[in-house]
Structure 1
Amino acid sequence: MEYKWMIREKADESVVQALSKDINVNPTLANMLANRGVHNFQLAKEFFRPDLDKLHDPFLMKDMDRAVERLQQAITNREKILVYGDYDVDGTTSVALMYGFLNRFYSRLEFYIPDRYKEGYGISERGVRYAAENGFTLIVSLDCGIKAIQKVALGKELGVDFIICDHHTPGDELPAAAAILDPKRKDCAYPYKELSGCGVGFKLIQAFSMVNNLEMAEVMSYLDLLAISIAADIVPITGENRILAYYGLERLNNNPRPGIKALMIKSNIEKEMGIGDIVFKIGPRINASGRLEHAKASVELLLSKNLDDAMQRAELVDTVNAARKNFDENITKEAISMIEEMEMVREMKSTVLFKEDWHKGVIGIVASRCIEKYYRPTIILTESNNKATGSARSVYDFDIYEAIAECSDLLEQFGGHKYAAGLTMSVDKVMAFQAKFEEVVSSRITDIHMKPVLEIDDEILLDQINYKFYNILKQMAPFGPGNPEPIFTVSQVYAEEVRILKDKHLRFNVVQDGQVTKPVCIAFGMADKSVYPDEIIYKMLNRKMRFDLAFEIRENTFRNNSSLQLYVKDIKFD
């Protein structure tokens, strides 16, 4: 896939020069920081030294006082409490956090995760009736509930109150819950709007602990779960999320709970874990049980009290994850074949595919895989409970949630974010939805959306790449949305000592005229990549053709020897 390179505009020169002098970094680093909103010494101090004391007062969140009061009332009156969460990583970590915290001092509670296939996403009628029939009078919902108007009303009829902890965009009407915690409420003045669902749950236990004079160290012990939710749910790692992710990663790397330690062992994570390890190794394993079986297994794993028990549970989750990969690969092949076989579909600005027997648990992954090949907004639908239900994924800067909302007259339910959403409709509405969604996307999408964008921080010289430079870059972590891992370019370079690794990767030294440094480059999956018809990168590098290189800087350690390497993102030949 060909990338469009977008080099960030230079920040204000006076700001860059002042910042460079004040914090003693070179102008390249000062420019990167300024482009991330770090404009002066004080902001740089806060950026490089995240401080838990800078977390916002949880009572700034609308309804927090009501939520704490209702939770306190339930505990005082010995009511049964049901902790209810969605089946994805954000939902299961939220449930593990809330249940784990309350269970330390209160026993009349259970947790509940809806069955993806029998109940679907969010608050279900079955879940509400389960609560009522089993004597629960309070449901604390996490990562869901903001649009559950009818289900919350049903709960009220059956004597079940709700405290809703959500982070999704509300509709025009809010449920009639005892309390609704959602920083995206229009009437909520909470200073930071991008918390994960688990983050909203964290603010509730923080507020409850403040009122009841509980040890704040106990609250902070759940930051490992919160860091996993932040990474896996792809929320911005800015502001408060940056502080929470920073200390959550610190806990993950120094004192992980048994369930997470077991997942790290299963994932072969032996070095310091970062956001990428969560996204690509830990998150998929937690997600797997909810995709193919029941997410209860993931919550039980996260709540494990010892490593032996956790390892047994992690083995089960790992087995399910392996099966998930198999489903993912097979359905992706089917989906791509469907697109290839229909010229009209190939020429569209969007992809909407439906097949009644596709596995509901992996259609979101399949949507992402299709975008890797056909870069456009994509929705994959399957049949579940006699309805067409689907997952949507988007492309750079295109709001797929808004596009789906334009088709709401054809839908029974939908929800999500700018880049990912879920939706449900009658099976007989699928064709009409395909047509209308294509019409909406075609009217909104522009050229900038149609090609994957590689956002580049700056062009540098090879001699700038040294450990002093790298060590400052490393302190800018954790990286993620809002604070992406730095990508640089070098121009008019050529390659030496080009080798193919494991039949699919490239390893070479990059050389720039007038520069002494000749770093090793690793280009994953590029050994047989074509640039022009009948021209593969490997041959062009061997001919010492000039090219521009986009890359990340990483540290490689082999046999106790460390060196800096360039991880190639893209190559553009003259």
Structure 2
Amino acid sequence: MSAVLVPNFISRGERSQNPNEGTVGAFNVGSLPFGLLDVTPDPKIRKRSVDALILRSAERDGFTPLQARVIAGRMKAEDSGLSVRQRVLPRIADLDSYHQLPDIDIAVDRICTAIQGREVIACVVDHDADGSTAGAVMLASLVDYFGMAQQDVLLFNSHRMKEGYGVSNAVVDRILQHHPLPSLIITGDQGSADHDRITRMREEGIDTVVTDHHEIPARGIPQDAVAVVNPARADSSFADKNVAGCHVAWLVMCAVRAELINRGHLPADAPRLGDLLDWVALGSACDAVSLSKSINNRALIAHGLKVMNARRRPAWEGMAVVLGKKDAYSAPDLAWKIGPRLNARSRLSEAMTGVQFLMSKDYDEAVRLATVLEEDNTTRRGIEKEMTATAMAIAALQASSDSPAIVVCLENGHAGCHGITASRLTEALGRPTMMLSPKEGEMGVFTGSLRTAAGVNIKQAMDQVVEWEPGLLLSHGGHHGAGGLRVQAGNIHLLQELFCEAVLLQVHPSQLHPLIHTDGELDASPSLAMVDELAQLEPYGREFDPPVFHGQFQVLSARVIGADKTHIKLSLKDRYGGVTSAIWFGAIKTSVFRPEPSEADVPVAAGDMVNAAYTLTSNTYRGNTSVDLQIKHARKASTSTS
């Protein structure tokens, strides 16, 4: 894979006065000093601070000391009037009302009119898991619950590489070429920043109802939309700004159901839409919504898992076959197993297969489509591995030069794997990252994905870049944690400079390093009882991270395992005398310079005392279940954990 190196951060005083000066040149990783890029910096291990008020309240609410410590490290005291138990384990009855959403009455009126008038409705959704699940929710609601004819409900989802993000002109072209032409568009997980395309459809006689959750751009909402249902609007009374796009789509469909009953179109006992919450749970988990600030997200994911584990939907039986899964689905399964497979198809080609899988009508179809997604995911992982290895070499050079942000261009990079690769670099280097590669079908244009680190608001940073240099970006969008953009190749150097400056407006350079937050040391040897205690606090996810602990151990044995010989199987003795098995994935580092690991690369050996950060897991083998440690990082005990 050929690569392109963007020069490191240039101070503002050295900046060229010509925004188009400079081109992106070829980069040969072999020309760099050997050893400089072999390794990424060791993460710093920090114990989480705990909120004393939350800690006391959690214990009063009946949580165990271990549970209370975990909760207090993730939640802050607030004046919501809710107890800690209500915040951690909310009920569906605690959900915020859809009546608080902006434009909800206008949206519902237009959708109900279309349903009753037998108009053709097109659901236009994003290509990721949030968009795909939003599409499934809307299709199932309109056809299966509200009785629309299947031929009167269309689904359009964007092609990640060919059409880009949002309701793009290419997507609108496809809509306008369809016969019959829809009279109403309902977007899912997009639309708030698609002013010109919504105007274009309005001029063709097509109304648009936007359902979305992304931040509203500086120019405001699309004025030519009939309604913009988005809790991120400044005039929204919906208090929770952290819900996913599929969640908003589900709320809109719930409101439509109520109005159709009110109009007599549906009977008063028409089925509720709770059985669609498995899709909402999946889309929400994959979109990394907050699970600390939002009781809505916690309630929906927890309830959605119950729906999923009832296994009434063929999709979950089909996915279980592919995953070899016999036990219940958990929150981590949503984000780390099902989500990547659902997204893999859209990363490589079109996203429709993912929606078809979600809506599989029978077991055979579900297994067939799940197998397709699995094959795509295997291909995606191979591409990602190659991209990450090359990108890490470039990124490590930038980090070693104290660049506050990472900007990497790969001439032969795959746009579908930008986001994943950027996340890998962010995790390894502790800096906001921008991954770029040529845009398919647009000569001289690069497309990119961004991921945050150190609390940097990506959307705010990109808005600042555009404020400094209007017209620098052909397009951009996103939210706090992630974003996307298009830029002319000749402007990438300037973009890197301004992005770095925008990052430094938000954080101090001392904050830019990889970091592992832990919940401290355990008060006893790891046990299955602890695993069960912690499982009761699910779901875990963004801002309510899975518990991580640290401690000192004696290494009794260490054995290299795995096809690529980069993982280590360990037996560890803790300070209480307990002996526990552990696995350390990716313990042995490789790079483009040293693709094959050697014995010299093994970081620990039998007899060593190590400080380790780890998570607790259970492992069942031949009918016996035991507690295991999954090592996140370890180093010899002569080095401080801080």
Q: Which residue of 2 aligns with 1:201?
A: 249
Q: Which residue of 1 aligns with 2:357?
A: 301
**Are residue 484 (structure 1) and residue 537 (structure 2) matched?**
no
CA spacing shift, 1:85–1:379, aligned 2, 3 Å = same
Measured in 2, the distance between the counterparts of 1:346 and 1:95 equals: 45
Identity %, equivalent residues = 26
Q: Which residue of 1 aligns with 2:416?
A: 361
Q: Which residue of 1 aligns with 2:8?
A: none
Shift of 1:346: 5.3
CA spacing shift, 1:339–1:521, aligned 2, 3 Å = closer
Shift of 1:534: 6.4
Cα deviation digits, residues 386-422 of structure 1 (max 9, x gap): 3221111222312222222222221121111222110
CA spacing shift, 1:256–1:568, aligned 2, 3 Å = farther
**Are residue 89 (structure 1) and residue 133 (structure 2) matched?**
no
Q: Which residue of 1 aligns with 2:616?
A: 553
Shift of 1:99: 0.9
> What pairs with 1:411-560 in structure 2 (closer than 5 Å)?
411-463=473-525, 465-490=526-551, 492-502=552-562, 503-513=565-575, 515-526=576-587, 536-539=602-605, 542-545=606-609, 547-560=610-623
**Are residue 30 (structure 1) and residue 54 (structure 2) matched?**
no
Shift of 1:132: 4.2
Measured in 1, the distance between the counterparts of 2:358 and 2:226 equals: 28
Q: Which residue of 1 aligns with 2:7?
A: none
Measured in 2, the distance between the counterparts of 1:225 and 1:64 equals: 22
Measured in 1, the distance between the counterparts of 2:529 and 2:514 equals: 32
The TM-score, its normalising length taken from structure 2, stands at: 0.81
Q: Tell whether the 8 Å contact from 2:54 to 2:84 is kept in structure 1 after alignment.
A: no
Gaps of 5+ in 1: none
**Are residue 153 (structure 1) and residue 217 (structure 2) matched?**
no
Measured in 2, the distance between the counterparts of 1:456 and 1:377 equals: 22
Shift of 1:535: 8.0
> What pairs with 1:202-351 in structure 2 (closer than 5 Å)?
202-213=250-261, 217-237=271-291, 238-255=294-311, 257-338=313-394, 347-351=402-406
Measured in 1, the distance between the counterparts of 2:45 and 2:320 equals: 35
**Are residue 180 (structure 1) and residue 228 (structure 2) matched?**
yes
1:113 to 157, 160, 182: 157
For the residue of structure 2 that corresponds to 1:111, the secondary structure is strand
For the residue of structure 1 that corresponds to 2:408, the secondary structure is strand
Q: How many residue pairs end up in the alignment? A: 563
Measured in 1, the distance between the counterparts of 2:83 and 2:371 equals: 44
Question: Which residue identity is paired with 1:80?
Answer: V
Shift of 1:224: 1.1
CA spacing shift, 1:402–1:18, aligned 2, 3 Å = closer
> What pairs with 1:362-441 in structure 2 (closer than 5 Å)?
362-384=417-439, 385-386=442-443, 387-408=445-466, 409=470, 410-441=472-503
Q: Tell whether the 8 Å contact from 1:392 to 1:420 is kept in structure 2 after alignment.
A: yes
Shift of 1:484: 1.2
Q: Which residue of 2 aligns with 1:568?
A: 631
CA spacing shift, 1:245–1:140, aligned 2, 3 Å = same
CA spacing shift, 1:414–1:536, aligned 2, 3 Å = same
Measured in 2, the distance between the counterparts of 1:518 and 1:208 equals: 57
Moved more, 407-416 or 352-361: 352-361
Q: Tell whether the 8 Å contact from 1:462 to 1:518 is kept in structure 2 after alignment.
A: no
Cα deviation digits, residues 489-514 of structure 1 (max 9, x gap): 23x4423344444444334443344x
**Are residue 352 (structure 1) and residue 394 (structure 2) matched?**
no
For the residue of structure 1 that corresponds to 2:386, the secondary structure is helix
Measured in 2, the distance between the counterparts of 1:381 and 1:354 equals: 5
Cα deviation digits, residues 45-73 of structure 1 (max 9, x gap): 42564311111211111111111111001
Q: Which residue of 1 aligns with 2:31?
A: none
Measured in 1, the distance between the counterparts of 2:413 and 2:63 equals: 56
Measured in 2, the distance between the counterparts of 1:308 and 1:115 equals: 27
Shift of 1:217: 5.0
For the residue of structure 2 that corresponds to 1:118, the secondary structure is helix
Q: Which has the higher contact order (CA 8 A, sep 6+)?
A: 2
Moved more, 136-145 or 400-409: 400-409
Calculate the aligned-residue CA RMSD, in Å: 2.8
Q: Which residue of 1 aligns with 2:168?
A: 124
Measured in 2, the distance between the counterparts of 1:68 and 1:373 equals: 46
Q: Which residue of 1 aligns with 2:26?
A: none
Measured in 1, the distance between the counterparts of 2:351 and 2:521 equals: 45
Measured in 2, the distance between the counterparts of 1:355 and 1:495 equals: 41
CA spacing shift, 1:319–1:191, aligned 2, 3 Å = same
Measured in 2, the distance between the counterparts of 1:556 and 1:38 equals: 33
CA spacing shift, 1:219–1:343, aligned 2, 3 Å = closer
**Are residue 58 (structure 1) and residue 102 (structure 2) matched?**
no
For the residue of structure 2 that corresponds to 1:412, the secondary structure is strand
For the residue of structure 2 that corresponds to 1:364, the secondary structure is helix
Q: Tell whether the 8 Å contact from 1:353 to 1:380 is kept in structure 2 after alignment.
A: yes
Q: Tell whether the 8 Å contact from 1:350 to 1:441 is kept in structure 2 after alignment.
A: yes
For the residue of structure 1 that corresponds to 2:324, the secondary structure is coil
Shift of 1:432: 2.2
Q: Tell whether the 8 Å contact from 2:399 to 2:406 is kept in structure 1 after alignment.
A: no
Question: Which residue identity is paired with 1:543?
Answer: G
Q: Which residue of 1 aligns with 2:208?
A: 162
For the residue of structure 1 that corresponds to 2:236, the secondary structure is coil
Moved more, 63-72 or 255-264: 255-264
Measured in 2, the distance between the counterparts of 1:469 and 1:315 equals: 35
Structure 1 runs of 4+ aligned residues shifted over 6 Å read: 38-42, 342-345
Measured in 2, the distance between the counterparts of 1:375 and 1:319 equals: 31
CA spacing shift, 1:10–1:294, aligned 2, 3 Å = closer
Shift of 1:29: 2.9
Q: Tell whether the 8 Å contact from 1:398 to 1:449 is kept in structure 2 after alignment.
A: no
CA spacing shift, 1:330–1:554, aligned 2, 3 Å = closer
Q: Tell whether the 8 Å contact from 2:88 to 2:298 is kept in structure 1 after alignment.
A: no
CA spacing shift, 1:125–1:276, aligned 2, 3 Å = same
Measured in 2, the distance between the counterparts of 1:77 and 1:243 equals: 35
Moved more, 99-108 or 501-510: 501-510
CA spacing shift, 1:348–1:556, aligned 2, 3 Å = same
Question: Which residue identity is paired with 1:261?
Answer: E
Question: Which residue identity is paired with 2:70?
Answer: M
Measured in 2, the distance between the counterparts of 1:504 and 1:396 equals: 28
